[in-house]
Amino acid sequence: MKLDVHCEMLLSEYHEKLPIYEKMKAVVLDLLRNCLDKNNILVSGLEARVKAEQSLAGKLELKGYKYHTLEDITDVLGARIITYYSDEVDIISALAEKMFEIDWANSVDKRKMLEIDRFGYLSLHYVCRIPETLYKDPELPQLNKIRFELQMRSTLQHVWANMYHDIGYKSNVEIPIEYQRNMTRLAGMLELADEQFCRIRKEINGYRRTVQSMVAMGKLDEVPLNGDTFRSFLSLKPFKNLADKIAAINHGEVYEDNLMPYYRILLNMNMKTIGDIVKMSKTYSESAYQLALLQLAGTGLDIVTYSVALQNLCIVAILKKGFGEAGLVSFFNALYGENDYHQQRAKRICEQARKINLI
């Protein structure tokens, strides 16, 4: 590659400033990561790179005359945020606008550059500076002067960009029109898929909110039992009273564990709605407590898990419905995996249940 004197000077400036760009890369990544964490935004990718020497030389060879100094090249440092959904790009860009100084004259929303009958590279590029209010290193004042490029795109936009780059740029020959047409068709398909993912997510969120409000309003018979509704139901701490009562047997405490493993068990027990679980709780709560009282009184065991309440409710329901020892063994197998010990445990519980006239 043959570069003129001006471009060679820019390249030598690049070598000199490389440590600053590397430091800036780490700072930008940290700032972006913290911002995403603080705003509870999950992204598919967060990356940054300092342009490689060869890549910069290639750019200078093509249009080095445009740049007076290295700092005129705004993408020597490039950062990229890849979102899961296309509508999250706007959220990220709003955060970037709050965080960084944006050089609007050089920022591009490529999503808006396309004609209505064109598809293709859809991405948002901001040229930014780190404001001193956000980060300052007295020994490196250049960190607040040098601009960098921040790309924001969805996962599918990223797929498109990568594939287009691989197929389009690597080829030494101009791509024939029929292949370009096929690429354009694919771009349109990805854009539609992006929209559909957003729509589906919105609908699912809407469904979740509806179900959560039904649970909160107590319309539990109308709420089908599924993983989502069970999780919402659990957030209301429906077994807290029983767990507290069981812990109080030895003036103890409740350790809050996760009840989600019971979801499949309750389905197996033929529970169809959240209302069915509430009915089970109301019907068998006293018996579940009596069973715990028989087991725990006098033991001095002053810590129980929250799940012990639902565990005892299920045990009582199984026994009251006449499934006996075999039912309990199936219950324990489903909950913990098969184990010979479950037979002994089921037998012991049945003996205890007889003592308190549960069966």
Partner 1 sequence: MKVTINQQNEKTLVVLDGRIDSTNADQFQQDIAPLMEGEKPDIDIDCTNMTYTSSQGLRVFLLLQKSVVARNGKMVLHNMNPHVKEVFDITGFSNIITII
Chain residues that interact with partner 1, rule: CB under 8 A: 250, 252, 255, 257, 261, 292, 295-296, 299-308, 311, 335-337, 339, 341, 344-345, 348
Contacts of residue 263, defined as CB under 8 A and 6 or more positions apart, other chains included, come to 225, 227, 230
Q: What is the largest CA-CA distance in the chain?
A: 98
CB of 65 to partner 1, least distance (A): 53
21's tokens: 């760009």
Q: Closer to partner 1 by CB, 283 or 305: give it.
A: 305
Q: Closest by alpha carbon to 148, among 245, 70, 45?
A: 70
CB of 234 to partner 1, least distance (A): 14
Contacts of residue 14, defined as CB under 8 A and 6 or more positions apart, other chains included, come to 53, 56, 70, 76
Q: Closer to partner 1 by CB, 131 or 261: give it.
A: 261
Q: How far apart are alpha carbons 307 and 258 in whole angstroms? A: 7
Contacts of residue 157, defined as CB under 8 A and 6 or more positions apart, other chains included, come to 86, 89, 121, 122, 123, 190, 194
CB of 310 to partner 1, least distance (A): 9
Q: Closer to partner 1 by CB, 165 or 240: give it.
A: 240
Q: Closer to partner 1 by CB, 126 or 289: give it.
A: 289
CB of 309 to partner 1, least distance (A): 8
CB of 296 to partner 1, least distance (A): 6
Q: Closer to partner 1 by CB, 207 or 336: give it.
A: 336
85's tokens: 């959904």
Q: How far apart are alpha carbons 157 and 116 in whole angstroms? A: 17
CB of 342 to partner 1, least distance (A): 10
Q: Closer to partner 1 by CB, 154 or 311: give it.
A: 311
Coil/strand/helix, residue 152: strand
Which residues, in sequence order, are bridge partners of residue 148? 128
Backbone angles phi, psi at 221, to 5 degrees: -70, -20
Q: Closer to partner 1 by CB, 208 or 231: give it.
A: 231
Which residues, in sequence order, are bridge partners of residue 125? 108, 151
Q: How far apart are alpha carbons 45 and 155 in whole angstroms? A: 8
CB of 312 to partner 1, least distance (A): 9
